[in-house]
Structure 1
Amino acid sequence: MKCWAKSVSECSSTQSREHYISKGLFSDKTLFVDNAPFLGGGSKEIAKASLTKKCLCKKHNEQLSIYDDEAIRFGDALKYCLELSAKRRNSTAKKFSPHRKNVDADRFSRWFLKTYLGLFEFFKYPSAIAPETLAALVFSESAITEFLKLEVSMAVSEEFQIVEVVSIAPLEKDEKTIGMQVQLYGVRLNGFFSDKPEYSQKPLKIRFNEYKQGKSCEIRFR
């Protein structure tokens, strides 16, 4: 049995396959993959259903679906903000009533960690935090937001497109992998991991402003 959560609790007797990236983030049945080490690098178009690995037992895998749902909720919120901006772009209004979308910060943090645990073996440097420690956080009954620092890694004026593209890169220091960068639908997020609750921070907010009317939409991690 291959399961990165085996140190958390007893595994079931059935091996399952985990998608490298939550399949619900992509609407197409096939995906264009670029520079993926698990495919030998290079570029390739492949069926979404094939982008899996044996790294979890059935029991532990099924417990993680709610965290996939939260990443999908974030992606949907980004799409909503884009559609709202398109509707309001040519408006003559002087000011808009901002729309707000909420994302569960704790569930999204667990999605971030479980995605990392499926990918970190492909990074150049070993994980600074033991995988068993991170696995325990994913399945913890207590909130884990203070163990993971999430921040937007983009300039205020940086242009981007909201499309169904996800890219992953390690964050490194002193020849250790200390976190992961996820570019999800054009928005770049850095996540730094800790084995103790040291990150006390204000809830992350992503604001979308129209050129003349100011804030139009906001995504809040709560």
Structure 2
Amino acid sequence: MAVASLIPPAPATGEPQSGCYMAATSDCGGRLSREHYISRGLIDGPELRVRGMPWQREEVARFSPDNLVARILCRRHNSAMSPLDAHAIRFFLSVEAGLKHAQRRSLSRKSRFYMTSGDGLELWAMKTLASLYSSGIEFMTPEHRFRDFEPPMERIVAELSSPNPCSIMTLSLPLMQDAHEEQIGRRAVSIGPIVDDETGELSGLLVRMHGIALVFNIDLPDKDALPETEIARPDMIDLIGMDRTSRIFLSRAKRRPEAWIVQIRLSHPRKDPPAGRSDRGCNRQPLRK
């Protein structure tokens, strides 16, 4: 699945818009729009269940998606980058549908397959990181404050305005059970920064959706830089239920000779391997047993 151009249509306006984090491109247009720093369509309902926001007093709070907005992009750039929201929505709704299929009670043993864009998801994470920082939101962890760790905004703007954008963020999936929520399938979303304690720098963004942890690493040199308990840029995610499997494909412009699969076992263990060919990575330790 190719990522559409993120550049506003020609001709360029030659105008920067104060308050738009893409103003350095001098191609702004229209007033500042209300940008959702968490894509509204991630939940197809009137309420969004949100975790990890600094103003929350409850573990899980319900918000109208229209409340999670900030005026950080001009209308021209907001419209041009909307395809990234569509890629994220497609992935997260695929996870939701895949979980329902794998966990529902049925005599059917058929697997289901979902196609998403790995490149689009990584670009969305980069845009989300820029949006969160530009919005002035105050993420707090026990040791760190998000505002103290500025992301590489100049590079992010350069990539988002490139004819062939390439994200500076690399998706990896943890294999350790405690990296994910105890109850996979919870209809909630959380987003938070990751700070490298050794370097004291912002190293990534952690996104949890439906209880599954997605780590977006900034400037990952290669997959060997990750812990052994994480897989970089998986090609497929298998959601393995008691009787059925859902497989989510993450397409990329640059394909590897061997595919990497992350298995997530849901609720009950199963002795037989998941449906599909035995690609490299298929026998790796599952996320859940």
TM-score, length-scaled by structure 1: 0.81
Aligned counterpart in structure 2 of residue 217 of structure 1, from 246, 253, 276: 246
**Secondary structure of the corresponding residue to residue 12 of structure 1:** coil
SS, match of residue 7 in structure 1: helix
Q: Which residue of 2 aligns with 1:137?
A: 159
Match of 2:211 among 148, 166, 186: 186
Contact 1:20 1:115 in 2 (8 A): yes
Q: 2:52 and 2:216 mapped to 1: Cα distance?
A: 21
Distance of 1:203 and 1:14 partners within structure 2: 39
**Greater relative CO (CA pairs within 8 A, separation 6+):** 1
In structure 2, runs of 5+ residues without a counterpart are: 1-17, 139-145, 224-231, 252-289
> What's the CA shift string for 1:52-72, capped at 9, x where partnerless?
101111111111211111111
Q: Secondary structure at the match of 1:207?
A: strand
| C-alpha distance 8-184 of structure 1, shift in aligned 2 (>3 A) | farther
**Which is strand-richer, 1 or 2?**
1
Counterpart pick for 1:171 among 194, 214, 218? 194
Distance 2:125 2:57 in 1: 25
Residues 21-69 of structure 1: CA distance to partner in whole angstroms, max 9, x if unpaired?
01111233244555523xx443465432121101111111111211111
8 Å CA contact 1:36–1:42 kept in 2: the answer is no
* Partner-residue secondary structure (3-state), 2:149: coil
Of the three residues 100, 113, 122, the one matched with 1:109 is 122
Does residue 83 (structure 1) correspond to residue 112 (structure 2)? The answer is no
Equivalent pair of 1:148/1:199 in contact (CA under 8 Å): no
Counterpart position of 2:73? 56
Q: For each residue in 1:66-113, what CA deviation from the matched residue of structure 2 results, as whole angstroms up to 9, or x when unmatched?
A: 1111111112111221221134x453x7xx443221111121111111
Q: Percent identity?
A: 24
For these two proteins, the number of residue pairs brought into alignment is 210
Map 1:33-48 onto structure 2 (within 5 A): 33=50, 36-37=53-54, 40-43=55-58, 45-48=62-65
Contact 2:19 2:32 in 1 (8 A): yes
CA distance in 2, matches of 1:142, 1:134: 13
What is the alpha-carbon root mean square deviation over aligned residues? 2.7
SS of residue matched to 2:100: helix
More divergent stretch after superposition (156-165 vs 174-183): 156-165
- Secondary structure of the residue aligned to 2:164 is coil
Which residue number corresponds to residue 169 of structure 2?
Answer: 148
- TM-score, structure 2 as length reference: 0.64
Q: Are 1:162 and 2:185 an aligned pair?
A: yes
